[in-house]
Structure formats: structure tokens, C-alpha cells
Structure 1
């Protein structure tokens, strides 16, 4: 399973999220983000026909990320919400396929992770 993880600002639009996903070049099987933002990601999931996984705070902070954003660490306990959400939702043994990329309007980030059975 390939999961697209998202981090985004409150003002991010559906287009911001779609742009961040497009920038990864991937075709995920599911979407994921921090639990308190899952409802804001649901419209993209509905548009794409994909489930949205709500990742709890402890799972976000437990995932090692390639990116190390100071703001993300301060507010969420992880270097990248997008990377941590993708890894947590993809499951134990998951690996990043792409580190976070940023939407053109800088309102959203997206990263792809694959479960251990999907890693090329």
C-alpha cells in the first residue's frame, strides 16, 4: 500500500492539497494526516475515491522523518507531519518513497510512503 501523507496550514485549499500530491508524482492507495486535520483532508479523499487515515499525535511523533522542520517539531513533535503521517499510516516497516514536497502556494506538504510489501 502506498500512502500520501499531508501536512498543511489551516488556510490550505483543496487545490493546495491536490498540488502537493501532484508534485510527488505518485498514485497513492490512501491519504493520511494528523488526526485533528483529517476532516479537512476528506474532500480530497472523496475527489480521488481514497480513504483518509487520521494519525494520532503519538504515532506522528514516533516516526523518524528525513525532513526536520523546526515549526513542525515545535507544534507536532515531528520533523515533518507529511512524512510521519505517511509512514504511520503505511504501517510497521514502511519506508518513504518521496520526502515531503511543498505545494506551489506553500500551504501544504505531501510525502509518499510504502508498506513493507510494496517497497520496490
Structure 2
């Protein structure tokens, strides 16, 4: 029995990010089903965003971010998290083995949040 591929929206965001920051990045990326970010960023604004939209959160361990190959490179993300894009890495890690990036990170208008989309392997 084959299962359908699923899209996961991965997020990276600054401490100053708001629900509106996350919503802007999410909508620019094209919106998806599940949301993912690094585990220590889940409490607070990210949970508020997910709850308001009735979306499932997939928390990603920080060590799993560095295992992902990202398309874009943020010097801040590299320095703080060991990955070129937290959003891309979170999306890929949450989507699982064989996942592919289908939308590179987009940045919210206020510059506080990024979102990327990955598709699970079929």
C-alpha cells in the first residue's frame, strides 16, 4: 500500500518573531500541513501560531538540523545552529529519510521568520 507524500513547513525565527511574522513566512512559502522547527523554539509564539491554525507541530532535535543539506546559507544560522537554514533543515528532518526540499526558505517581511517546504518520500 503506497502512502501519499506529505508537505512539511519548516521554520526558523528570531526571538523577536511574532505570530504575524510566522504567518507571513508561511503564506509566502505556500502553506502546508505540518509545521516543524527546532525543539527549543516550539514553546511560545510557534505553539501559538500552530494552535491558531489547528496544525500539528513536529519538533526537531538540534543535532538533526546539521545532518540536512540546505540550499540557502545564512551566516547567523551557521553560527548559531550549524546549518545554512534552520527552516530548510527543520522541514527536511521532519519530513524524514528521502525527503526533498520543494521550496527554499522565504523570509517574512519583517525579517524575523523564515519558512521552507519539504516533501516526504513516497
TM surpasses 0.5: yes
How does the TM-score come out when normalised to structure 2? 0.92
Correspondence list, 1:16-35, <5 A? 16-26=21-31, 28-35=32-39
Q: Could you say which residue in structure 2 is the equivalent of 1:97?
A: 102
How far apart, CA to CA, are the structure 2 residues paired with 1:4 and 1:85?
8
**Equivalenced residues, count:** 116
Q: Could you say which residue in structure 2 is the equivalent of 1:48?
A: 53
Structure 1: unaligned runs, 5 residues or longer = none
CA-based RMSD:
0.8
Q: Kindly indicate whether residue 62 of structure 2 is the aligned counterpart of residue 78 of structure 1.
A: no
* Structure 1 counterpart SS, 2:24: helix
* Structure 2 counterpart SS, 1:39: coil
Q: State the 4+ residue runs in structure 1 displaced beyond 4 angstroms.
A: none
How far apart, CA to CA, are the structure 1 residues paired with 2:109 and 2:15?
16
How does the TM-score come out when normalised to structure 1? 0.94
Deviations 1:69-101 (A, max 9, x none): 111111000000000000000010000110000
Structure 2: unaligned runs, 5 residues or longer = 1-5
Query: Is the helix fraction higher in 1 or 2?
Result: 1
Q: Could you say which residue in structure 2 is the equivalent of 1:57?
A: 62
How far apart, CA to CA, are the structure 1 residues paired with 2:8 and 2:49?
14
